[in-house]
Amino acid sequence: MPAADQRPSADFWLYFAGRFISDLGSAFTAFAIPLLIFTKTGSSVGLGLSLAVSLLPYLLFGFVAGAVVDRVDRRSLMIGVDLARAALLVSLPLIALGDELNLVWIYVVAFLGSTLQIPFTAGQFASVTHLVGKDHLVTANARLQGATSLAQIAGPVLAGLAVATLPVVDLLLIDAATFALSAASLALIRSTFNDARPPGEGPRRVAVLLRTLRADIREGLAYVWHNPLLRSIAVTMAVVNLFASTTLAQLVFYAKRQLSVGNGQVSLMFAAGAAGVVLVSLSAGRLRHIRLGVILVASLALNGLTVVGLGLTTNYAVAIVLWAVNSAVSVLFNISTMTLRQRIVPDRLLGRVMTVSMVLAWSVIPVGALAGGFVVERAGIGPVLVGIGVVIAMTAAVTAGSPLGRARLASDEPAAPPQTAPPQTAPGDANETVSGGRTTRE
């Protein structure tokens, strides 16, 4: 692993470029898939089902994927996943050539794409710590998130222009090409994405790996659940995601029905959200003088208030601003919690901690998105958004008194004895302390 004072290397910038290119293509898909479903169904339930199907793999496979990522060569795995996702996306426009494309296959592609995304995300989460020193994680994560958001600004705008001359489904070919380029950039990186392991602890054969998965999963679950900060993140996000999933799933429906705008203006809604994220991502590294708990609680409170505003307005310009702020504070929360996990979790557990956290936080999204679609059909999108915003704002108030609300990054504090019996850390693991009600050593 790089030394703590090491600046981003050439490998980091290769990784950065691959992420940007891939995220640019993914922005095309994020715009195209909901629009494709809305065009075919005109239904909020159809959009809710799309998000539910996309998140279901995290509940089914998240634990296993995280354990696998910690046992294999992460970089090679990520390259294979990129190539598989490229092939998957190409199938949609190919089927559409014969007028055979139907909703079932769109949902199947969404499900399989998310299944492949799980190990890739876990690999990304762990890889950053090998490309920059841990003291530079906030800045590195902010740069990567900024690149993602910049791609998400340009992507929808370009997609909105392209959809005037191309069928919506053909936009997916662009994303497929960017996955291939992302795989190429990863192949050029020389750094390993795994810590050096003692003999017998390296990547294992499949048979041995399968026998150890149960113990690995149990270890990751215990590590998250018995740490007050990691548990608080998971519980808070589960509550928020149960309700906020409807806001994300119904963005196209909201723009079409409550704001009465066309496809080009819908693409600008996506771009505005990404623009807000860029501003926050570029400044996240400068917020380190603010206590982490304050940032997290304020982010949740602003998230709730902006969703209330979206539910009350029918003005497109106002909605654009509100969505930009909402997206910005949501990602500020994510950057902060991601950095917290990366600083306190030993490398050999990073993949499992990431996927366990995702499963605990995202397992409610399929239920929330699908139920929200049905409620929107009956009550209308405006009142539903107001209710969702109120719940998120109330969650922020509760979080203020939790370990997460009192969290602070404090690498110079002495480590307290562990609250549970965490796994033995390997030499070179970071000995960071994070205050969140009580100080723990991870």
H helix or E strand, kind and range, residue 439: strand 439-441
Looking at the domain assignment, is residue 2 inside a domain?
Answer: no
Alpha carbon 357 to chain centroid, angstroms: 11
pLDDT confidence of residue 366? 84
H helices of 132-205, in order, are 137-162, 171-188
Q: Identify the segments of the chain with pLDDT beneath 50.
A: 1-6, 198-203, 410-442
Looking at the domain assignment, is residue 58 inside a domain?
Answer: yes
Handedness of CA 332, 334, 336, 339 (dihedral sign): negative
Number of domains in the chain: 1
Quote the CA–CA distance of 195 and 198 in Å, as a whole number.
10
CATH number at residue 345: 1.20.1250.20
SS3 424: coil
Query: Given the structure tokens 């290769």, which residue do they identify?
Result: 14
| Pick from 273, 267, 282: nearest CA to 306 | 273
Looking at the domain assignment, is residue 4 inside a domain?
Answer: no
Looking at the domain assignment, is residue 3 inside a domain?
Answer: no
Contact between residue 77 and residue 187 where contact means Cβ atoms under 8 Å apart:
no
The torsion region of residue 194 among left (phi > 0), alpha (psi -120 to 50) and beta comes to: beta
Looking at the domain assignment, is residue 5 inside a domain?
Answer: no
Looking at the domain assignment, is residue 87 inside a domain?
Answer: yes
| Pick from 329, 336, 326: nearest CA to 291 | 336
pLDDT confidence of residue 326? 92
Contact between residue 126 and residue 320 where contact means Cβ atoms under 8 Å apart:
no
- The model's pTM is 0.66
Quote the CA–CA distance of 60 and 118 in Å, as a whole number.
11
pLDDT confidence of residue 208? 61
Looking at the domain assignment, is residue 197 inside a domain?
Answer: no
Looking at the domain assignment, is residue 199 inside a domain?
Answer: no
Full domain range(s) for residue 224: 10-192+204-441
